[in-house]
Amino acid sequence: PIKLIKSSSNAICPILVRVYNKCMRDGVYPAELKVGRISPIYKKDNEELMENYRPVSTLAVFGKIFEKIIYNRMYSFLLSQNIIYENH
């Protein structure tokens, strides 16, 4: 659970930094972080019909953290190279 991860962040952060940096250095996204849990979410009308549900995928917390790191690094790089411009 995210609450446990946040409360133990001081202990696990150095480990995650090493793991994430190695993944980026090697250009590998671990298969374990790609696994998501798909849950059917009810939309409307008859609850017995499949078309009244939509699939929602929940990704692993560590995968989300890794994606956010990649996003922030790419965004910073693109800004620094004047490829995209920040709105002021």
Summarize the confidence of residues 11-23 as an average pLDDT: 94
Q: Can you tell me the distance from the alpha carbon of 30 to that of 22, in angstroms, rounded to the nearest whole number?
A: 11
pLDDT, position 55: 93
Measured at the CA of 71, the angle between CA 68 and CA 72, to 5 degrees, comes to 85
Q: Let me know if 66 is exposed, middle or buried by CB neighbors in 10 A (0-12, 13-18, 19+).
A: buried
Band the pLDDT of 88: cuts 50, 70, 90: low
Structure tokens at 25: 């250095």
pLDDT bin (cut points 50, 70, 90) of residue 2 is: confident
Q: Helix or strand or coil: residue 81?
A: coil
Q: pTM, whole model, 2 decimals?
A: 0.70
* pLDDT of 48 strictly over 80: yes
